[in-house]
Chain A
Amino acid sequence: MTSNQVAQLEERWRTAEVAGDTATLDQLTAPEFRLVGPLGFVLTKPQWLQRYQGGGLVTTALEWREVDTQIVGDTAVSVGIHDQQASYQGRPSDGTFRSIHVWQGGGGEWQLLSIQLSPIGTFTPPRVERP
């Protein structure tokens, strides 16, 4: 695996997020995948995939830039800036975050193990109606 190949996988991930393409996101992530959000919440893979179901999350634009990828054996760690324009339950959820992606290819297909987002400065989350 080379940095360019990791970049191709990350472009598939980025495109799938904007398309709300849960089938591709499912394919790109390991069963034990976790997302840690910018306010410290943790989503399991099923919870992460469900974001796009029912129109809860709509990502209209996503940049993944200033990426620095280190590859050690069958593991790749990418550090970059995740810049999104999105809405959650109809409310703006735009944000610019620093993020680490961890990929692993030990099982054959390279898959994401982890995405974590950290705010750059402060982040105001969207207000969400709770039942």
Chain B
Amino acid sequence: VTTSRGGDPGAEVKDLQDEFDRAELHADAAVLERLIADDFQSIGPKGFVLDKEQWISRHSYFRYHALDTSEVDIRTYGDHTAIVRNVQRNRATHRDDEVALTVRVSQVWIRYEAAWRLVAIQFSPMGA
């Protein structure tokens, strides 16, 4: 991943977040492999933890049909750290089950030299 957008970290991270969301929707393992840091950790909406390999391989039994985001809040801290928070509404198939979730998601991006990587993602289910 190379930097772009004239060195504006917020714009760079927005582009990468959009690319990540598209890769999730289409189960694009090659893009996910590139965007996700090796020491990535995730927490799902029921508290389960997946590392990078587990996250990418979950697409073998989990498939998005729709993934829409709103309430996007991108905050950068210096040139090397960014947190993207948003609300995700999705429809998916998990093994043989149809699922639909609305979740608040936080994504932590860190720039390693010239390349931003996703180091953490966490989901909290939206209450009534």
Contacts and interface: CB of A to CB of B under 8 A. Distances in A.
B81 interface: yes
Given A40-B104, A106-B81, A118-B45, 14 more contacts: A36-B106, A36-B122, A36-B124, A40-B87, A40-B126, A75-B77, A98-B47, A98-B48, A114-B108, A116-B124, A118-B43, A118-B47, A119-B45, A120-B47
B41 interface: yes
Which 7 pairs of residues, A with B, have the shortest CB-CB distance? A39-B127, A120-B47, A40-B104, A40-B126, A98-B47, A106-B78, A75-B81
A21 interface: no
Interface in B32-67: 37, 39, 41, 43-49
Contacts of A37: 124
Interface string A94-124: 0001111010101000000110111111100
Report the contact-size class of chain B (Cβ under 8 Å from the partner). 20 to 34
Contacts of B104: 36, 40-42, 116
Given A32-B75, A118-B123, A113 B83 contact: yes
Contact of B80 (A41, A73, A79, A121): A73
B110 interface: yes
Nearest to B83: A114
Contacts of A114: 83, 106, 108
A116 B122 contact: yes
B41 A77 contact: yes
A79 B43 contact: yes
B120 A77 contact: yes
Given A118-B45, A119-B46, A40 B77 contact: no
Contact of B127 (A30, A41, A99, A106): A41
A91 to B, nearest CB: 16
B108 A118 contact: no
Nearest to A72: B110
A100 B44 CA distance: 11
A72 B49 contact: no
Interface in B90-128: 102-104, 106, 108, 110, 112, 119-120, 122-127
A56 interface: no
A39 B124 contact: yes
From B48, B104, B124, B125, name the one whose CB has the most chain A CB atoms within 10 angstroms.
B124
